């Protein structure tokens, strides 16, 4: 009888161990996987008359934007528009550049996306107006014969977070800009731990934002 009990115990161990290992691997994979993009927009101010004055100072106030979208745990996009302009605020857990790209071609990476990329270096805010050349590369609009369409901008960096704010026309007329529209806009987002647009990103993603 004792030997039979040993055989049964050994058999149970053989049957149970693989399932335990599988469960552990699945749990580890779940912990290490990136969270899905959150493309839901939250309305902050429903009445445009209740909006505070927009100021490109790198400080996002509660009543400065009509909408906010948490694109991932470390990247939040704020927006508002009027008849002519779009006003964008970005807050990211990053100490290098942060960026947003509008209207990329589906499944084509950076291709034809209209990027604003900026940050704070040595206490001064900077921003670039870029155009997506292909899946991975982009260029300054001005190098391609276009114009810098960023009209105002400002930024701050504090406590491991960077905030960037900028203003541009909804429709610029520049070949190397995309129109930003009422309704759904496809976007790319990314951030880096280094400044300058040649630095590699440490996180990126895609999503949609809805601008009423």
Taking residues 30-44, what's their average pLDDT?
Answer: 42
CA 54 – CA 37 distance, rounded (Å):
27
Which of 6-20, 25-39, 64-78, 102-116 is predicted least confidently? 25-39
pLDDT confidence of residue 10: 45
> If phi over 0 gives left and psi between -120 and 50 gives alpha, with beta otherwise, what is residue 98?
beta
Give the count of beta carbons closer than 10 Å to the beta carbon of residue 211: 18
Backbone angles phi, psi at 208, to 5 degrees: -135, 145
Give the count of beta carbons closer than 10 Å to the beta carbon of residue 9: 10
Give the count of beta carbons closer than 10 Å to the beta carbon of residue 42: 9
Residue range 120-130, pLDDT digits in tens: 999 999 999 99
pLDDT confidence of residue 131: 92
CA 44 – CA 41 distance, rounded (Å):
9
Give the three-class secondary structure for 11: helix
Residue range 8-35, pLDDT digits in tens: 444 444 443 334 333 333 332 332 333 3
Residue range 150-205, pLDDT digits in tens: 999 999 999 999 999 999 999 999 999 999 998 889 999 999 999 987 888 999 99
Residue 48 or residue 74, greater confidence: 74
Cβ atoms of 134 and 111 closer than 8 Å: yes
Residue 134 or residue 201, greater confidence: 201
| CA 48 centroid distance within chain | 25
Q: What is the pTM of this model?
A: 0.78
pLDDT confidence of residue 13: 42
Which of 4-8, 69-73, 85-89, 189-193 is predicted least confidently? 4-8
Give the count of beta carbons closer than 10 Å to the beta carbon of residue 27: 10
Q: How far is CA 40 from CA 43, 131, 173, 198, in A?
A: 10, 26, 29, 30
DSSP for 141-197?
Answer: GGGGT------EEEEEEETTEEEEEEEEESS---TT-PPP-SEEEEEEEEE-SSSST
Q: Position of tokens 């009888």?
A: 1
CATH architecture of 41-211: Sandwich (2.60)
Give the three-class secondary structure for 19: helix
DSSP 8-class letter at 28: H
Cβ atoms of 66 and 77 closer than 8 Å: no
């Amino acid at each position: 009888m004792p030997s039979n009990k040993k055989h049964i115990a050994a058999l149970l161990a053989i049957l149970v161990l693989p399932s335990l290992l599988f469960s552990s691997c699945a749990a580890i994979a779940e912990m290490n996987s990136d969270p899905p993009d959150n493309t839901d927009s939250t309305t902050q101010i429903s009445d445009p008359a209740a909006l505070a004055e927009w100021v490109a100072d790198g400080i996002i106030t509660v009543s400065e934007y009509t909408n906010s979208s948490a694109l991932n745990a470390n990247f939040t996009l704020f927006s508002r528009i009027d008849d002519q302009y779009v006003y964008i605020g970005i807050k990211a857990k990053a100490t290098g550049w942060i960026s947003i790209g509008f209207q990329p071609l589906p499944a084509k990476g950076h291709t034809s996306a209209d990027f604003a990329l900026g940050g704070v270096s040595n206490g001064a805010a900077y921003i670039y107006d870029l155009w997506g050349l292909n899946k991975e590369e982009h260029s300054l609009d001005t190098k391609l014969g276009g114009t810098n369409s960023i009209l105002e901008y400002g930024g701050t960096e504090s406590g491991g977070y960077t905030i960037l704010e900028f203003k541009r026309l909804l429709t610029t007329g520049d070949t190397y800009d995309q129109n930003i529209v009422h309704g759904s806009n496809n976007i790319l987002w990314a951030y880096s731990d280094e400044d300058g647009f040649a630095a590699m990103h440490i996180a990126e993603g895609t999503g949609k934002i809805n601008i009423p």
